[in-house]
Amino acid sequence: MSKVITNVSYFKDNDLKKNQTITIEGSLISDIKDSDHTATSDFLVIPGCIDLQIYGSGGRLFSADPTVESLTIMEDDLLRKGTTGFLACMATNSAEVFNKCISAAKEHRSTAKNCLGLHLEGPFLNPKRLGAHVPGYVRKASLDEIKKLMDFGDGVIKMMTIAPELQDDAVIEYLLDSGVVVSLGHSNATFDEATAAYNKGIQTTTHLFNAMSPIHHREPGIPTAVFNHDKAMASIIADGKHVDFEVVKFAQKLLKERLFLITDAVTACATGPYQHIEKDNKYVMPNGTLSGSSLTMLTAIKNCVTYCGISLNDAVQMATTYPAKLIGIENLTASIEIGDQATFLILDDMLNLKEVIFKGETI
């Protein structure tokens, strides 16, 4: 049975198409056309949000409870909040915890809804730029270890954050050849070292400005290397806590379609090495170190529009099209066209979520 959504607007390229009727057959968009009548609607349809770095949701921190149940709870909670695709992130931890997380993701894969796989943020980081990561687990990767990790992962490891200045070229090449999106992060790389890493094929950068060598007028650092590169992308946490909104605005002007949004969100946790405490709309470790955010992807979009002067269409693409293209799923969920998967959000004029359509079904 078809589902018809009338009198909505959506962006087609850079144009806002108003008074549209979208018809869904099964899991696909079967038709888009002008509505028969001209009644106006303030409802906006956008693709579902894609979050490539989130640690927990629905009260579950995945690394603290690395189970299929945790992933399922995260999926359902994030779907209700408009995130229709995400990578469950794991911070630097013991081999035992990593293996449990990977095993849970593999077991969950056959029934997964919006969980797209795993993002390993560590342990192959620079100890000079750890942020909230546990230093005792940080180390340089060996090629043999990476081969065993990829073999054990069996395809669920989609993204990995590394400090490339400390890794052998063979390690980076193997990850890239394995189809992993490699992200430069928690790194003290110089401008030249970061530029060389991007030239080797590293595609993106983890939470721009956080836990990396900064911009200095005599030491341009990682951010300048990203800005100057023609292909390197970067994620950013637009919560006003991790990065000032003026800096988000500045970065978007320079990077345009190479900058995308993540939440880096965690949830309160009182066990294990990552004990997150909520404070002033962010999370900190017991020693006060800034850890994760309390963002949702929709709030990140709103912040970009409200506080950063970024156009609504650009902000939406930062949360949908750009991350989807990075991990190669833009054909599934990053546009609203006839024949596309019917996965999108319906928002009111204040960008509040009214309805989630996921693979043709109302959530």
CA–CA separation, 114 vs 111, rounded Å?
10
Q: Is 264 a catalytic residue?
A: yes
Is 309 within 8 Å of 8 (Cβ atoms)? no
* Alpha-carbon span 143 to 196, nearest angstrom: 20
Catalytic residue among 51, 65, 264, 340: 264
Place of tokens 């470790």: 285
Give me the sign of the Cα torsion angle 147, 149, 151, 157.
Answer: negative
Region of residue 54 (left: phi > 0; alpha: psi -120 to 50; beta: else): beta
Across-strand partners of 110?
none
- Tell which residue, 186, 200, 207, has the closest CA to residue 229: 200
Task: Mention every residue, 6+ apart, whose C-beta is less than 8 A from residue 151.
Answer: none
**How far apart, in Å, are the Cα atoms of 97 and each of 67, 111, 143?**
11, 22, 21
Contact 225, 191 (CB under 8 A): yes
User: Residue 212: what residue type?
Assistant: M
Strands 181-184 and 361-362: unpaired
Which residues participate in catalysis according to the annotation?
264
